[in-house]
């Protein structure tokens, strides 16, 4: 009986993950014809700050062809995240109590909104500040010419890191609401959590103090917001 129940859950999980993968494939195929336009948009935070005469470079033979394809796959994965969040919520919702199910829709909507808020914050605010600092620190006799593959890896690592980090209020509310912790215990653990946020910022962002702080500080503030809106399990 238990084995059948576990098997049914695994089958349902596989089905939902396949739906996410199907959307990812469709978005990738649709995006390929627009790879050049997407690249121009994604590269704009750096290209707008490069000195005259500087540009992106391709250091590998296949990079001019593979980089746009890689970019389209990254963007397709990014756009598939709301569908992934929806499938996750639909997978766990049958196991929730009636009162908890009422929170499913607002929490799911908040999850999607916060994810894209994190991505937008990283792309429109954090990236330009970081790139401006890096370019400004370059010696006069060094011409800034960034490799296209390195740039894509750098920026999408930041985008996904900030998108996931902005889910902290949702995670905090769920932890408190489920009874895994209380508001008071989380408040008392605040100093340790701040250190944890700094470590996460160090692991998920490029190896510079600015991007680490740009991630760690919002994580702390979002944690405080989660504490503010959470309520202990009755």
- Predicted confidence (pLDDT) per residue in 170-228, tens digit: 888 888 887 788 888 888 988 998 999 888 888 877 666 777 888 888 889 999 998 88
Write down the pLDDT at residue 24.
Answer: 94
* Half-sphere exposure for 30 (CA within 13 Å, toward CB): 10
Rounded CA-CA distance 195/192 in Å is 5
Query: In degrees rounded to 5, what are phi and psi of residue 147?
Result: -70, 135
Distance CA 51, CA 89 (A): 46
Spatial separation of the C-alpha atoms in residues 154 and 151, rounded to whole Å = 5
Tell me the per-residue pLDDT of 141-160, one tens digit each, with 9 for 90 and over. Answer: 777 778 888 888 888 888 88
Answer for the pair 173, 226: CB distance below 8 angstroms, yes or no: yes
Percent of the chain with pLDDT over 90: 16
Q: CA-to-CA distance for 89 and 105, rounded, in angstroms? A: 9
Which sign does the torsion angle of CA 228, 229, 230, 231 carry? positive
Nearest to 101 by CA among 26, 13, 177, 202: 177
CA dihedral 212, 47, 113, 33 (to 10 degrees): -130
* C-alpha span between 63 and 71 (Å, rounded): 11
Of the candidates 114, 118, 95, 94, which has an alpha carbon nearest to the alpha carbon of residue 106? 114
Please tell me the pTM assigned to this model: 0.83
Mean pLDDT (whole number) for 3-17: 81
């Amino acid at each position: 009986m238990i084995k059948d129940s576990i098997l049914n859950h695994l089958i349902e999980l596989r089905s939902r993950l396949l739906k996410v993968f199907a959307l990812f494939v469709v978005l990738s195929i649709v995006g390929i014809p627009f790879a050049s336009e997407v690249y121009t948009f994604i590269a704009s935070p750096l290209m707008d700050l490069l000195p005259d005469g500087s540009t992106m470079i391709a250091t590998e033979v296949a990079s001019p062809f593979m980089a746009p394809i890689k970019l389209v796959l990254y963007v397709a994965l990014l756009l598939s995240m709301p569908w992934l969040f929806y499938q996750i919520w639909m997978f766990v919702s049958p196991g929730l109590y009636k009162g908890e199910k009422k929170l499913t829709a607002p929490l799911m909507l908040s999850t999607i909104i916060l994810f894209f808020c994190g991505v937008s914050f990283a792309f429109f605010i954090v990236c330009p500040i970081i790139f401006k600092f890096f370019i400004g620190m370059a010696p006069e006799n060094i011409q800034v010419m960034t490799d296209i593959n390195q740039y894509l890896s750098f920026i999408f690592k930041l985008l996904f890191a900030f998108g996931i980090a902005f889910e902290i209020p949702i995670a905090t509310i769920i932890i408190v609401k489920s009874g895994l912790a209380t508001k008071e215990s989380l408040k008392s653990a605040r100093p340790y959590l701040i250190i944890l946020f700094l470590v996460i910022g160090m692991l998920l962002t490029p190896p510079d103090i600015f991007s680490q702080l740009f991630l760690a500080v919002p994580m702390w503030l979002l944690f405080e917001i989660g504490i503010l809106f959470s309520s202990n399990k009755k």
